[in-house]
Homo-oligomer: A and B are copies of this chain.
Amino acid sequence: MSRIPHLGEFEQIVLLAILRLGDDAYAVAIRDEIRSRTGRSTAPGALYTTLDRLEQKGLVSSRLGEPTHERGGRAKRYYTVSAAGTAALERAQRSFQSLLEGLRIFEKKHA
């Protein structure tokens, strides 16, 4: 058994989006955040599947919210990144950072 599971790219993105959204992290919002930040459009199913898997791995936890007082609206499921999730994310980012160090890939337009 591997201790901390490896994160795929999308998983990392989802995790980051959840952290960003804080208290308002439910599927639709997460999806919007991802789209607006990365330009990457994802099908609902894609996201839920990933969310599910992250939860199974114990990297996020979810709680069901109260129905909103809006026109329609099924109860939202809110997600939170667990300690293990943060750890995994940190580790993954550290790997990138190590490799990026001293490498200039990005042509900074020189502000």
Known: A38-B95, A38-B98. Is A103-B16 also a contact (CB below 8 A)?
yes
Chain B residues with Cβ below 8 Å from A93 are 96, 100, 105-106
Interface residues on A, range: 20 to 34
Nearest B-chain residue to A8, judged by Cβ: B9
**Chain A residues near B (Cβ < 8 Å):** 6-9, 12-13, 16-17, 19-20, 37-40, 86, 89-90, 92-96, 98-100, 103, 105-106
12 contacts between A and B (CB under 8 A): A7-B9, A12-B96, A19-B103, A20-B99, A20-B103, A37-B95, A37-B98, A37-B99, A38-B94, A39-B95, A86-B105, A93-B96
